[in-house]
């Protein structure tokens, strides 16, 4: 039997990082061996994240260490670092030969860096070969902004079935998306903030890259107009998105609901451990999806996008819907673990 790969988590004590250990508890291929932070260095992991989550016993007594490649014993590194520190620290790990899977924005738009949603663009992973020779065998693979993930999941099957010309999205984003301690309570309780720094350009550019095709030196972005308006709302987990689409061919809403429901990708075909049976769940009730009831829906809780209120518009080329996805699981730790599983299944990780 192959041994389980040792995994280090950078930014393990943050709002996104704290979600990783649960996903790797009893994992067939991966096992957490190191947790890294900055202010929490020297504390036990359980103590460092006491106000965020009760973590599994298997990691609670690990000592939080510096995010330094020389201080970490691992085969694989997940990074949930803030983007400012990610740029330098992730490069240091990759240049020391580590495979790095990052949910930070620092490298997402680089030519030779894949920006992964494993159900959508598994073929983009081959870009790591371009990095390996430059980086002493290591590489960086990124996952998208949590809002982008909940958008591109329903876009991909619709694009394949009907073509896509234009996407307009308005978001209702949960407070955990802002990290810890995040938005001041006075600013968000009983309120909505129609501004999230740098969010809209990220959603627009990342969507085009994920839906783009491999070619030349990297990914040719999809030629789709994407317009985003992002707001922070007082929910805890789960970004809700109101999506308006213009397609290239006429679209029937009921048929489109079937297309979304049937959507599957390589993680399902390969039966990856963190792959939900249905990447997209279609909610048929008139008032769903709702973060309170639907954010943990599906066979792997937090890993499915729940889409509802699928309806037409003022032309046969218009489709409207709401999409909900868990920002810290499908939008962060879960998608990173799923990406690592795809790398493993495709032979990119040395065992």
Closest to ligand NAP by CB, 177 or 265: 177
Question: How many angstroms separate the CA atoms of 63 and 73, rounded?
Answer: 13
Roughly how many angstroms between the first and final C-alpha of the chain, as a whole number?
A: 11
- State yes or no: residue 325 binds ligand NAP (CB under 6 A): no
Q: Catalytic site residue 239?
A: yes
Beta carbons of 12 and 33 less than 8 angstroms apart: no
The residue number whose beta carbon is nearest to ligand NAP equals: 14
Beta carbons of 149 and 199 less than 8 angstroms apart: no
**Least distance between ligand NAP and beta carbon 79 (Å):** 8
Question: How many angstroms separate the CA atoms of 310 and 171, rounded?
Answer: 16
**Least distance between ligand NAP and beta carbon 222 (Å):** 22
Cβ contacts of 186 within 8 Å, gap of 6 or more: none
Beta carbons of 142 and 133 less than 8 angstroms apart: no
Q: Are strands 30-37 and 99-102 parallel, antiparallel or unpaired?
A: unpaired
Contact characters 10-29, ligand NAP, x per CB under 6 A: -xxxxxxx------------
DSSP 38: S
* Binding positions for ligand NAP, 236-255, rule CB under 6 A: none
Contact characters 26-65, ligand NAP, x per CB under 6 A: ----------xxxxx-------------------------
* Binding positions for ligand NAP, 100-139, rule CB under 6 A: 103-105
The active-site residue, picked from 124, 146, 230, 326, is: 146
Question: How many angstroms separate the CA atoms of 164 and 225, rounded?
Answer: 9
**Least distance between ligand NAP and beta carbon 238 (Å):** 10
Question: How many angstroms separate the CA atoms of 171 and 194, rounded?
Answer: 9
* Binding positions for ligand NAP, 164-183, rule CB under 6 A: 176-177, 179-180
CA angle 5, 105, 200 (to 5 degrees): 140
**Least distance between ligand NAP and beta carbon 82 (Å):** 5
**Least distance between ligand NAP and beta carbon 149 (Å):** 8
Give the catalytic positions in this structure: 146, 239
Residues that bind ligand NAP (CB under 6 A): 11-17, 36-40, 67, 80-83, 85, 89, 103-105, 146, 176-177, 179-180, 327-328, 331-332
């Amino acid at each position: 039997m192959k041994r389980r790969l040792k995994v280090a988590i950078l930014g393990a004590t943050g709002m996104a990082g704290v979600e990783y250990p649960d996903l790797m508890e009893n994992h067939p291929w991966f096992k957490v061996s190191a947790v890294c932070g900055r202010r929490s260095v020297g504390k036990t992991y359980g103590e460092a994240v006491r106000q965020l989550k009760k973590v599994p016993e298997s990691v609670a007594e690990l000592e939080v260490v510096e995010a330094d490649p020389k201080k970490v014993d691992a085969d694989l590194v997940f990074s949930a670092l803030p983007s400012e520190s990610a740029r330098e620290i992730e490069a240091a790990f990759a240049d020391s030969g580590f495979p790095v899977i990052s949910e930070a924005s620092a490298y997402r738009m680089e030519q030779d860096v894949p920006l992964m949603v494993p159900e959508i663009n598994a073929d983009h992973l081959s870009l790591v070969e371009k990095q390996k020779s430059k980086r002493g065998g290591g590489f960086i693979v990124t996952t998208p902004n949590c809002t982008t993930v909940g958008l591109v999941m329903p876009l991909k099957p619709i694009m394949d079935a009907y073509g896509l010309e234009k996407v307009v999205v308005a978001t209702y984003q949960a407070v955990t998306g802002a990290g810890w301690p995040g938005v001041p309570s006075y600013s968000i309780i009983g309120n909505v903030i129609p501004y999230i720094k740098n969010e809209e350009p990220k959603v627009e550019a990342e969507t085009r890259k994920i839906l783009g095709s491999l070619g030349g030196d990297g990914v040719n972005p999809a030629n789709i107009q994407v317009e985003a308006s992002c707001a922070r709302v007082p929910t805890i987990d789960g970004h809700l998105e109101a999506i308006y689409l213009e397609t290239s061919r006429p679209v029937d809403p009921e048929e489109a609901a079937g297309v979304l429901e049937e959507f599957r990708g390589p993680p399902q075909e390969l039966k990856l451990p963190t792959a939900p049976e249905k990447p997209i769940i279609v909610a048929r009730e008139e008032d769903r999806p709702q973060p309170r009831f639907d954010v943990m829906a599906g066979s792997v809780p937090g890993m499915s996008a729940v889409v509802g209120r699928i309806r037409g518009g003022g032309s046969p080329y218009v489709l409207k819907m709401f999409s909900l996805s868990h920002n810290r699981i499908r939008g962060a730790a879960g998608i990173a673990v799923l990406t690592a599983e795809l790398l493993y299944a495709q032979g990119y990780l040395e065992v």
